[in-house]
Structure 1
Amino acid sequence: MTGRDLGYLRRCVELASEALCHGDEPFGSLLVDADGAVRFEDHNHVRGGDATRHPELAIARWAVEHLDAGQRAASTVYTSGEHCPMCAAAHAWVGLGRVVYAASSAQLTQWLHEWGAPPPPVAALPITAVAPGVRVDGPVPELTEQMRALYEKAFRP
């Protein structure tokens, strides 16, 4: 984990906060190329009822349309929360590179349990359980409290 990585993750947390301000779930993500340029950024858009509108899935779709296989493999996806199984599979299928996340699925699952919130409808698996060949870094302790606070606003009953 580098200072540069932390900077990108801080932007993901900002995107997650923006999503929450728009009435959506607090998740935000970036696609960064091998030269360090942010090529795509997005946040969750599930409030309208389409639970598949995750930013990580949007990144995978965008990458296939705009980058060749080598560029995708050399890229890094930064995200506020660890990919769900759907997004982890999409990441692997399109051949994206490294994933760096601020908060893990295990952390979110633990917090939901503590708050008495219902669990998500899909199992909270680590990215590597779905996509074993993907290099993954996270969670990042420096961002734990910020992510916990965003999740609490969104999910605590």
Structure 2
Amino acid sequence: MSEQQNLSAQDRVHLRRCVDLAREALDDGDEPFGSLLVDARGAVRFEDRNRVQGGDATRHPEFEIARWAAEHLSPAERRESTVYTSGEHCAMCSAAHAWVGLDRIVYATSTEQLTSWHREWGLPAGPVAPLAINAIAPGVPVAGPDPELADEVRGLHARLHGVEQG
């Protein structure tokens, strides 16, 4: 279950960076998603943004984090790490996160919010079921969304789809 009340000041600092990475992705012609991997000491170990514009729809930053963590961190380090992301993991990224053995996920906006915006804007459903992280990876602790960032993230997605904000 998501727990927005459990977002710390440090969580919000990392989420802010994720939204900045999402904006960077959008400015570069990609979908607006950005993510960080933070170790137990609070150090950012890896960060990335969406890179799907080249045609590989699996180039999500959360999936890249899972790949990087599998190659560079021990299982113990992965169990102590937190992934921060501008948007809740999709099913593919949730599965990768769980298979690699990463711990907590903190997200700025939820899958429910994103699908609601898409419905409001008359956009078709995507090719993958819009499931919450814990529907795919029930043992992964999650926190989010962050209401302080919702309007900004919504604006990035509106810009992606050419939707007027009113």
TM-score, with normalisation over the residues of structure 2?
0.93
Larger relative contact order (C-alpha < 8 A, sep ≥ 6)? 2
Provide the aligned length of Structure 1 versus Structure 2.
157
Secondary structure in structure 1 of the residue aligned to 2:89: coil
Provide the residue aligned with 2:120 in structure 1.
Answer: 114
Counterpart amino acid of residue 24 in structure 1: D
Q: CA deviation at 1:78?
A: 0.1
Provide the residue aligned with 1:128 in structure 2.
Answer: 134
Counterpart amino acid of residue 147 in structure 2: P
Q: C-alpha distance in 2, partners of 1:60/1:93?
A: 9
Pairing 1:34-49 to 2, within 5 Å after superposition: 34-49=40-55
Q: CA deviation at 1:155?
A: 2.5
4+ residue segments displaced more than 3 Å: none
Provide the residue aligned with 1:152 in structure 2.
Answer: 158
> What's the CA shift string for 1:24-47, capped at 9, x where partnerless?
000000000000000000000001
Identity %: 64
Counterpart amino acid of residue 16 in structure 1: A
Q: CA deviation at 1:156?
A: 4.4
Structure 1 unaligned blocks of 5 or more: none
TM-score, with normalisation over the residues of structure 1?
0.98
Q: How much is the aligned-residue C-alpha RMSD, in angstroms?
A: 0.7
Provide the residue aligned with 2:78 in structure 1.
Answer: 72
Pairing 1:2-151 to 2, within 5 Å after superposition: 2-151=8-157
